[in-house]
Each structure stands twice: as C-alpha cells, then as structure tokens.
A and B are shown apart, each in its own frame.
Chain A
Amino acid sequence: MAEVPGDCPGTSSAQAGSATACQGCPNQRLCASGAAAGPDPAIEEIKEKMKSVKHKILVLSGKGGVGKSTFSAHLAHGLAEDETKQIALLDVDICGPSIPKMMGLEGEQVHQSGSGWSPVYVEDNLGVMSVGFLLSSPDDAVIWRGPKKNGMIKQFLRDVDWGEIDYLIVDTPPGTSDEHLSIVQYLSAAHIDGAVIITTPQEVSLQDVRKEISFCHKVKLPIIGVVENMSGFICPKCKNESQIFPPTTGGAEKMCQNLNVPLLGKVPLDPQIGKSCDKGQSFLSEVPNSPATASYRNIIQRIQDYFGLHHSQEEKII
C-alpha cells in the first residue's frame, strides 16, 4: 500500500486532488476527477457480508483505560455461554490491541482461506479478530496514520470469514476519530444495533464520555446504555469500601439522568478482574462469586433483553 501524504484532505473532501498535499500523490488525478468522492463501494460489499450477522454492538468510550476491552471480552464470554449462539469479537484498536492477551490468544496468527481471513476461535462459538494476530512480535508497533488504519478496518469487516453470527461485538480505541468514523461509516448500510458506552466514575473521565455520547448523536448511533466501571473498591481485608475514582459530580448515574440515556449497571473494582485479563481467562468463570461477576451478568442480561425487546418491536412494525 502506497504511503498516503500526511496532510491528505481525504478522498471525499472538497479539496481532494487540489490541496497542496496532493502534489505528487499517485492518486491526485483520480481524486481531482471526483470519481473517488462517491460512497465507498466497500460499504455495499460490507452490507452483503454482514447479512449473516444478526446483531452488531459497538463498545465505546471517549476515555482510555476505563475497561472497554475488558467489558467487550467478558460480554463475548457471557453471551457465548449459550452454546446455541455464535459470537464474534472484533478489535479495531489498531495501535493498542489488548483483546488477544485478554482472550488468551497471544501469539496466535490468522489463517487465510478461500473465503477470506479465518478468525481465531476461543470456543467453538466464539471467534476473535484483531490486528494483534497480524504482528510478528509483541514489541511490534503499528505506527499508522488514519488512512492506513481505515483500510485495515475495512478489511476486517469485508474480508473476515465470520460465518453465521448472532452477535458481533466491536471493541474500539479511545476517542472520536478515524477508527470510530470508519467503523460507523462502513457499517452504515449494514445497520449497527447500538453502542454500549463505558466510563469510570470521576469527572475527568465523564467529560470525555459526554463527548462520545455527542458523537453517537452526531452519527445517529443508538445508545444501548452506559456501564460505570471501577466504581468503588472493597478492601479484601477489612471489607470497607473506598472510592478510588470518586464520583465528585454524581458519577455515571447523574450523567445518564442529565443526558437521558440508560445506565446498564455499575461494576466494582476487583483485583481479580485485572489478573484474569492478564492470564487470558474469563473472569466470569474464574471468580463466579465476586460481586463484580454478579454485576457483569446483570448487565449482559440487560443487553440481551434490549435485543429481545427491539427484535420483537421490529417484527411488529413488519
């Protein structure tokens, strides 16, 4: 793939082909002709591909390190406990893929088959795809600007042989930039059911999450609900609770009330969660009695209910 100029205005921009950065770019003539300005033909191809996927969920947060990947991984594990369901987990965090480690798949590689890239399977009914499977060493850094990341995401959606899927869970990087715009654009024709937004209780995190909610409104992405992670820590010795990330402005609860979005639940901090993720195991089955497990299960149930409800509503309309 040819190097895209750093200041590329984007193929759909009004300046495509005529900006100063376009000088010398091999695609300049194509961009200037306007042929590239139409919708990406990949959107239709992805729509075809996604016909075998019943539900698509995005896991988002404006803030990094709040537990998006941990949540995505455990949502996948939780949904996959029903053996009649097929689950796919797609990691579009191109520069910081954590999913391979959390799913215990570090060092795995993807295989090419006649029908595309094969995902890596954790269980028979749980397939995973991540840029982490394409790197040769854990030190490899993916130092890519936006256009290359977008190309990778397109490939993940169009060229992975997922098969028949009940739930596709997409784990995203922090922010509201290329990866987010691309995933929403590429799936625009295929329809995304909704987004689950993860936050921690403190205002510094909530202020980024409000931006993410306004992003969802801008791109007309329905919000399934908000999960407050790391809310409270119970000392394993004295059983007293401490607020490590204090909800000085009322936490996710207040934010959800103000912005009129549902709160799916709060998950307490439990050192076991991080440990399970480091070992690549499911926290839900490793520590079934933790209050955090109960809280996770409750949230997963609410997400399943959301789909049950919406599914029947759609049927009624038809």
Chain B
Amino acid sequence: RGNLARVQHILLVLSGKGGVGKSTISTELALALRHTGKKVGILDVDLCGPSIPRMLKVQDRDVHQCDSGWVPVFVDQDKSISLMSIGFLLEKPDDAVVWRGPKKNALIKQFISDVAWGELDFLIVDTPPGTSDEHISTVEALRPYKPFGAVLVTTPQAVSVGDVRRELTFCKKTGLRVLGIIENMSGFVCPHCLECTNIFSKGGGEELAKHSGVPFLGCVPLDPQLTQSLEEGRDFIQEFPKSSAFPALASIAQQILDGTS
C-alpha cells in the first residue's frame, strides 16, 4: 500500500459549490482532530486555487524529496499536522496553473502515491468545487485505500444546496460513503447589537440531509473572527474557544471520531 500504508482513515471534503468553506472546514477539522491528540495530514487537491497553505501560514515553505517520495510540510513543532499542496510547488504565489484535465490528473496521482505521510490517524483531502477531473481522479486513485468517507459542505441558500445535491449523486455513483453534511455560514451575529441575520438564508443544509437521508453534522455560523484568523494563519481553535463557531466545529470532529470507533 506504499505511502498510505500507515494512514488510518481517509476523509474527503467535497462540495459542488465553490466558496462555501471546504478549505476552511478542512483546516478547522484538522485542527479540531489534532486537539483530541490525533495526527492529521491534509492533502489539498485544488490545483487551480490552493488556499490551505496560506490559511496555515506555511505558504513560503518548500517540499523536499526523500527516499520514499515528497516530504509534506509540517505545520507545527510537534509535527502533528502535515500538509501537501500545489501551492508549495509554484515559483511565484500569483502563478496561474492553467492546466487541462490530463495534467491535473497526473499530479493528483502523484500526490496520492508519492507523499511520505508516515503514520497518520486522519488524512483529510480538500477538493476544488465541482464533479470533474480532480474528483474522478482522486476517488479512483484512493479506491484501493478504502477511504473512510466524505463530508459535504454547503451554505444554506438554495443555489448552493442545488450544487451539493449533485455532489451527493457523485458520491452515490462512485460508491463513496457520505459521513454527513455541514451547513457553513449559517447566520451572522452582529457584533454591535447581537442581532442574528441569516445572510445566506438558513436551514438548507439540514433540509437536504433530511431529504436525502444522510446525517446532518451541524451548522457553523459566519464568524468574522474566524475569517480573520484564517487569513492570518492563526490556530483558530486554540485562540477562540469562546467563538460561536467553536462548539460547532468541536462537535463535528467528535461525531467523526465516534464514527471511527
């Protein structure tokens, strides 16, 4: 089984829609699992728009070669979170990766077979929006390693939920187990008057979960502090345990842990 031999559980984070928070949820989930003492790897297969290196403030680091392949970038001192992303392979951060499918597929295969992850409790695979080359290739290449399942991220409004319905069909067709749906950006609490406004409506994710018979993992509210901390690459879960988004993220991580035991 090569480089993934000592990886216990592989989780995919998917969404048909872009900008709903796949990378944010992937990062936060990794941090939340780390806080329970797990070793976590993140594989960013969004080749045209990699966001995670910046979120974890490692955008200037390089990957190195070793005998068994690429060494991922370790995010923290005790090496409990490692990351692989195309962001580390670009010469300039603004370089556009203007690639058609076949080139993307080749790199994804390499990412899956040639990264020396070592021992991991979880490998979280963050994907770009859609149901196309990256997704088909990732699922195909991961199939021999029996991924644990997929977490689907949506925002509450109907336009987004519509795209996530299509992603559910993708999971069904490719035989990928759906661990559940997360509704992100649901509700914003005004820091001035504490009034909660549903900027992107409310409840769409939960409704979809009910309608399609998959577990609903929870709502993560909009939190400007979260965006700010991700922008600056700070460890949100360590810094803001009192934020409204924290209980949601911790509970989602716990549900995933419960599912593995």
Contact = CB atoms under 8 A, between A and B. Distances in A.
Interface of A: 6-10, 21, 62-66, 69, 94-96, 98, 101-102, 138-147, 149, 173-178, 180-181, 200, 202-205, 207-208, 210-215, 218-219, 233, 235-238, 240, 242-246, 248, 269, 271, 274-275, 277-278
Contacts of A10: 100, 102
A63 B201 contact: no
Given A96-B163, A238-B190, A210 B94 contact: yes
A69 B195 contact: no
Given A98-B163, A207-B54, A246-B228, 6 more contacts: A7-B105, A8-B101, A10-B100, A65-B160, A177-B48, A202-B231
A140 to B, nearest CB: 7
Given A238-B193, A271-B197, A181 B232 contact: no
B200 interface: yes
Interface in B1-55: 16-20, 23, 48-49, 51, 54-55
Given A65-B17, A204-B51, A176 B195 contact: no
B98 A218 contact: yes
A8 B48 CA distance: 20
A211 B96 contact: yes
A118 B231 CA distance: 45
Nearest to B167: A141
B134 to A, nearest CB: 9
Given A65-B20, A143-B131, A214-B96, A235 B227 contact: no
Contacts of B16: 95-96, 141
A204 B230 contact: yes
A177 B98 contact: yes
B192 A242 contact: yes
B42 to A, nearest CB: 15
B155 A65 contact: yes
29 contacts: A6-B136, A7-B105, A7-B106, A8-B102, A10-B100, A62-B48, A64-B128, A65-B17, A65-B19, A102-B159, A138-B162, A141-B131, A143-B132, A143-B174, A146-B101, A176-B48, A178-B100, A204-B230, A204-B231, A211-B94, A212-B96, A213-B94, A214-B95, A233-B188, A237-B197, A242-B192, A248-B232, A275-B157, A277-B157
Residue among A9, A145, A243 with the most chain B CB within 10 A? A145
Given A143-B173, A278-B201, A237 B193 contact: yes
Interface residues of B, number: 67
Given A142-B131, A237-B190, A246-B228, A181 B100 contact: yes
Contact of B100 (A98, A146, A242): A146
A235 B195 contact: yes
Contacts of B54: 203-204, 207
Interface string B211-245: 00000000000101001101110000000000000
Contacts of A212: 96
Contact of B192 (A101, A215, A238): A238
A101 B193 contact: no
Given A141-B170, A174-B129, A218 B96 contact: yes
Residue among A96, A174, A245 with the most chain B CB within 10 A? A96
A145 B133 contact: yes
Nearest to A150: B100
Contacts of B105: 6-7, 145
A139 B169 contact: yes
A177 B227 contact: no
Contact of B96 (A143, A176, A242, A245): A176
Nearest to A184: B98
Nearest to B135: A143
Given A141-B169, A207-B51, A246-B228, A64 B129 contact: yes
Nearest to A19: B102
A240 B192 contact: yes
B142 interface: no
A69 B198 CA distance: 20
Contact of B195 (A64, A215, A237): A237
Nearest to B192: A240
Residue among A98, A147, A177 with the most chain B CB within 10 A? A177
A184 to B, nearest CB: 10
Nearest to B168: A139
B89 interface: no
Given A240-B192, A271-B197, A62 B49 contact: yes
A146 B102 contact: yes
A138 B173 CA distance: 15
B131 A175 contact: no
Contact of B132 (A146, A205, A245): A146
Contact of A138 (B165, B193, B227): B165
